[in-house]
Amino acid sequence: MKKNVQIVTLLGWICTAAALVYLIYRLWQYDNYTAFWQSFTAAGWQQYVALAAAVVLLPCQLLIESRKWQTMLLGLVPVSLDDAFWQVIYGHVAAFVTPYRLGEYPGRLIRMGYTFDQWRTFIGTWRDWLKDWRKWLQVLLLHLARYAVWMLQLWLILYFCGIELAPTEAFVAIVSYYFCITVMPSVPAADVAFKGGWAVLIFSHFTEDIPAIAIAVTLVWIVNSVLPLALSFFMVQKTDTEPDGEE
């Protein structure tokens, strides 16, 4: 088991380093920064509306994930959507401070106030839940809905950065991008560089503006990672002394 973890970690470093080198090389090779910057700073109001829409979609993501978590707990632990939301928020903080986001679900369970013995009972009960295909289907549909929101956000932010893709092109490119960054191991500390390398590799087939691709991926990372993290820390500190579920 330990050897497998070491292999995955090594592959993560290799893939991340390769993505970073490729990203730097493509940015260094690009020689039209003046024209790009003039075009980027001359963005129209439609592009700013697209960026605002991408940010507004963030609460939709969190609510979908909260509903998915609530569905996963149905029949095991009575939990309201509000409580599920708080648990998702705590899980986000725990994921940030642990390697490969391994602390996300334990963080949610800690927010529930479970002891170690209660955890073991909970996990044992979850085995019965796994036999219910209808709950599996609900969770899958909610997970796909969240991915759809991610895809829409990326499409909107690409448009903000001046990269216009037809719906078919956007679907193929964005699905390919998310598939690659999902299945390939990486180093969490260099998440932006890893995603940037893959984004340039895929989206450069549709545009020559390599900096625009890099900026788009960075903005997506800020919207979907930095903003929720800032919200998480704010809400965790604000409610640290409040009982779970208190309004």
Among 2-6, 41-45, 130-134, 201-205, where is mean pLDDT lowest? 2-6
Query: In the block, which residue shows the tokens 């648990």?
Result: 87
pLDDT of residue 125: 65
Per-residue pLDDT, averaged over 139-161, amounts to 94
Per-residue pLDDT, averaged over 201-223, amounts to 93
DSSP code for 57: H
pLDDT at 246 over 50: no
- 83-134, pLDDT tens digit by residue? 888 888 888 878 777 766 777 888 888 777 766 666 666 666 666 666 777 8
Residue 170, Cβ density class (10 Å: 0-12 exposed, 13-18 middle, ≥19 buried): buried
Per-residue pLDDT, averaged over 69-88, amounts to 83
Say how far apart CA 232 and CA 81 lie, in whole Å.
17
Q: What is the pTM of this model?
A: 0.84
pLDDT of residue 1: 57
pLDDT at 198 over 80: yes
For 159, phi and psi rounded to 5 degrees?
A: -65, -40
Find all residues with CB under 8 Å of 182, minimum gap 6, and list them: none
Q: Taking all residues of the chain, what is their mean pLDDT, rounded to a whole number?
A: 84
